[in-house]
Amino acid sequence: MLTQSLNAPAISTQITRGKVAPAPHPVSDQFGAITGHVGLVASEFSYRKDEEIYGEDEPAEYVYQVVSGAVRSYKLLSDGRRQIGAFHLPGDVFGLESGATHRLAAEAIIDTTVRLVKRASLEKAAGTDVQVARKLWAMTASELRHAEDHMLLLGRKTAMERVATFLLEMDRRLAVAGMMALPMCRRDIGDYLGLTLETVSRALSQLHAQGILGFSGARQIVLRNRQRLHNLDA
Amino acid sequence: MLTQSLNAPAISTQITRGKVAPAPHPVSDQFGAITGHVGLVASEFSYRKDEEIYGEDEPAEYVYQVVSGAVRSYKLLSDGRRQIGAFHLPGDVFGLESGATHRLAAEAIIDTTVRLVKRASLEKAAGTDVQVARKLWAMTASELRHAEDHMLLLGRKTAMERVATFLLEMDRRLAVAGMMALPMCRRDIGDYLGLTLETVSRALSQLHAQGILGFSGARQIVLRNRQRLHNLDA
DNA sequence: CGCATGCTTGAACAAACTCAAAGCCCGTGG
DNA sequence: CCACGGGCTTTGAGTTTGTTCAAGCATGCG
């Protein structure tokens, strides 16, 4: 886990470009805000479902952005208990570290393509460009904000409140035309919310029975009443 | 909570110095590493036990360092459930934000003196001095690391494991001559660990019965067997 | 020295977990 | 195109861990 810096590509799609897409980036494109600004070299890389992107405590050689797919960042206890700290969806940057190593491991939840840049080149850019330095700090601060909210959820919310929070978060982040297609299984959701997969399933069933959400298959969910869901979320 | 930027001083000890202590700072002094470097103006301020230092979502006007005493940072749910995200002990910097507001509230656990600098002046310094910018990022990254470890604790550890982790953390951070004087009450510990105060008390009693720790009053604790405590911590 | 606050302990309870089984999809291959 | 198989999800029943509610105790502060 500590030895290799990058795993084997999934389908040998290691397309290295001299420069990342020169097309204009929206403000929300955090990676573009950096790479576009200082002209860093970015590459693309693909991982198959459940493939490890990097391990816990591995040297942080690259910084990643999800192009398509989904990624989970997690920590393990020695007996296998897992806590997922975050899900990374298209557009999200992950694997950014101020220190030398990755604090959490990362795996592709489904087949996933990422863009990546060498951490060293970002550090270098930050050393000369104050805007880049500010942006790196802001990205880490944004992760911290999420972690702080999540500590409140894990420490103090009930199972139903956690699931309600999760659904509202996913709705915000990946709903298309009022519907969301969850890339992760019930176990992943449980490990994110500090619950078992059964408890997650029961909460979702209950919300379904109350008409608050609709299913089209276990992972296609429509929120039918965001207000009521919000009320369930403490 | 959103209106005032700084609460009334405890005992009118608002000593403003032209410059903070010019004595050499150890490497561990994060605040000094910045203020010393760029010559920022720092002040000292005191808060009485249980006094609010700033509220959640209040504008982040200052960055603080504990000089003496102890501080808790926390979030509340609407019905009063509380999650303490961190305890700040002498030497610790807290209240540092990349964005405009404080994400957690902060209160003095006991009578506390802090050193503080205006956030704006730090931002300004970071704009010209890359070392300062790097340091601010590193401090936020350090908080993130703690939050990630704490998510694992809150989401996946048992009550005994949480208490063991807590004791080892406090031992590391505030033990003097093998003994630690906890500044916080059982409720604070519970709200930090996602437990009730009764569960914390029961775990401590059990550790005492097993000879793993000794008490001299409820808050004076001696760890008699760190190895066994470490084994109890997953 | 006395009281109030915080801590401990006990007993009953509840929320979530574990273990188990059945059902549903979805992708695969015939 | 349909049948099959396997993984994922749901649901149920019983258990466990930690919570809640309630006393009693200690301690440290005035």
Q: Is the CB atom of residue B206 positioned under 7 angstroms from any atom of strand D?
A: no
What does the pLDDT read at residue A135?
97
Q: Is 50 exceeded by the pLDDT of residue B220?
A: yes
Hunting for tokens 């391990």 — which residue is that?
A55
B127 burial (CB, 10 Å; 0-12 / 13-18 / 19+) is: middle
Give the residue from A142, A185, A149, A148 showing the smallest Cα distance to A169.
A149
CB contact under 8 A, A77 and B156: yes
Please report, for residues A45, A167, A213, B134, B194, the alpha-carbon distance to residue A206 in angstroms, rounded to integers and kept in the order given.
40, 13, 9, 48, 25
Of A154, A174, A204, the one marking the end of a domain is: A154
Instruction: Identify whether residues A149 and A34 lie together within a single domain.
Output: yes
Segment A6-27, tens digit of pLDDT = 444 333 333 332 233 333 344 4
Hunting for tokens 């296609």 — which residue is that?
A220
What does the pLDDT read at residue A39?
72
Of A101, A131, A154, the one marking the end of a domain is: A154
Segment A67-79, tens digit of pLDDT = 999 999 999 999 9
What does the pLDDT read at residue B40?
83
Beta strand extents in chain B (DSSP E only): 43-47, 52-54, 62-68, 71-76, 82-88, 93-94, 105-108, 112-118, 179-181, 213-215, 220-223
Q: Is the CB atom of residue A80 positioned under 7 angstroms from any atom of strand C?
A: no
Q: What is the DSSP letter of A209?
A: H
Of B129, B154, B179, the one marking the end of a domain is: B154
What letters, b where the CB count within 10 A reaches 16 and e where it falls short, cover B55-69?
Answer: bbebbbbbbbbbbeb
Segment B185-199, tens digit of pLDDT = 999 999 999 999 999
Find the helix or strand (DSSP H, E) in which B55 lies.
none
Residue B77: list chain A partners with CB under 8 A.
Answer: 152, 156-157, 234
CB contact under 8 A, A81 and B127: no
Give the residue from B60, B84, B102 showing the smallest Cα distance to B147.
B84
d(CA B3, CA B18): 27
Out of A103, A141, A157, name the one closest to residue B99 (CB): A141
d(CA B5, CA A142): 23
Which pLDDT band holds residue A37 (cuts at 50, 70, 90)?
low
Q: Give the residue with minimal CA–C1' separation from D28.
A: B217
Q: How far is CA A101 from the centre of its chain?
A: 18
Domains: count for chain B: 2
CATH code for the domain in which residue B80 is found: 2.60.120.10
Domain that holds residue B183: 157-232
CA of A68 to C1' of C11 (A): 55
Q: Is the CB atom of residue B219 positioned under 7 angstroms from any atom of strand D?
A: yes
Instruction: Identify whether residues A62 and A129 lie together within a single domain.
Output: yes
* Cβ A78 vs Cβ B161: under 8 Å: no
Residue A25 has a CB neighbour count (10 Å cut-off) of 17
Instruction: Identify whether residues A48 and A124 lie together within a single domain.
Output: yes
* Cβ B69 vs Cβ B140: under 8 Å: no
B129 burial (CB, 10 Å; 0-12 / 13-18 / 19+) is: middle
Instruction: Identify whether residues A137 and A184 lie together within a single domain.
Output: no
Which of B152, B161, B189, B193 to mutate against chain A (most A CBs within 10 Å)?
A: B152
Lowest-confidence range among A2-6, A199-203, B89-93, B158-162?
A2-6
CA of A198 to C1' of C21 (A): 14
Within-domain flag for A6: no
* Cβ A186 vs Cβ A195: under 8 Å: no
CA-derived radius of gyration, chain A: 18
Instruction: Identify whether residues A83 and A107 lie together within a single domain.
Output: yes
Instruction: Identify whether residues A207 and A220 lie together within a single domain.
Output: yes
What does the pLDDT read at residue B22?
33
**Mean pLDDT of the region A45-73:** 98
CB contact under 8 A, B140 and A136: no
Instruction: Identify whether residues A38 and A121 lie together within a single domain.
Output: yes
Instruction: Identify whether residues A194 and A125 lie together within a single domain.
Output: no
Q: Is the CB atom of residue A82 positioned under 7 angstroms from any atom of strand D?
A: no
Instruction: Identify whether residues B137 and B87 lie together within a single domain.
Output: yes
Instruction: Identify whether residues A43 and A67 lie together within a single domain.
Output: yes
Which pLDDT band holds residue A40 (cuts at 50, 70, 90)?
confident
Which of B63, B93, B144 to mutate against chain A (most A CBs within 10 Å)?
A: B144
Residue B82: list chain A partners with CB under 8 A.
Answer: 156
Instruction: Identify whether residues A128 and A177 lie together within a single domain.
Output: no
Instruction: Identify whether residues B163 and B132 lie together within a single domain.
Output: no
3-state secondary structure (DSSP) of residue A124: helix
pLDDT-above-90 percentage for chain B:
83
CB contact under 8 A, A144 and B145: no
* B165 min Cα distance to partner chain A (Å): 13
What does the pLDDT read at residue A13?
32
Residue B83: list chain A partners with CB under 8 A.
Answer: 151-152, 155-156
Task: Return the structure tokens found at B47.
Answer: 């808060």
